[in-house]
Chain A
Amino acid sequence: NAGVTQTPKFQVLKTGQSMTLQCAQDMNHNSMYWYRQDPGMGLRLIYYSASEGTTDKGEVPNGYNVSRLNKREFSLRLESAAPSQTSVYFCATTLDRGYYGYTFGSGTRLTVV
């Protein structure tokens, strides 16, 4: 029972490159989220998916796109990476709109040079 799995764990990109961060969960949770965390700061919500087939913008959606591929998987895409997107990215899931608490993945550390 892996919980929330994020891939890759580390990535270095050149400015302008694209990439997709993957998140998969095996807990049968309905809602999934993508956060970013810059050094010394709290987490900021990028996008979320309250249920399969729906996605919504969070606090800082610019420069990102998401896909809720199915109930298990929620991917985050950077179409043209910028140095300002250097951050740690966390995926989170919850069963029912957060009442039961959120489970976070271990993060993807992205550096854009």
Chain B
Amino acid sequence: KNQVEQSPQSLIILEGKNCTLQCNYTVSPFSNLRWYKQDTGRGPVSLTIMTFSENTKSNGRYTATLDADTKQSSLHITASQLSDSASYICVVSHNNAGNMLTFGGGTRLMVKP
């Protein structure tokens, strides 16, 4: 069964600190993996995308890693800001058509001053 599991479910950190969110997947076939940020009540916004051959991708203070052998990905947030408070969703695409996705349950991050 195709599954994407994220940990932790929720996380509270102080402003300025770093954090790492985890994503483990059992999806076959694998096309690509995206991390999305979703503010409360809004649609998900793509942060990074990685294909099978890519193991690191950065977008500002966000750095995603992918280990295709162990089927694990992580999203590292550096020097967190209050605006980073959101849900972060790991999404794996099954095919090259882009119409088959498996969503992780998300990690809810709260950054406190």
Q: Do A and B bind each other?
A: no
Chain B residues near A (Cβ < 8 Å): none
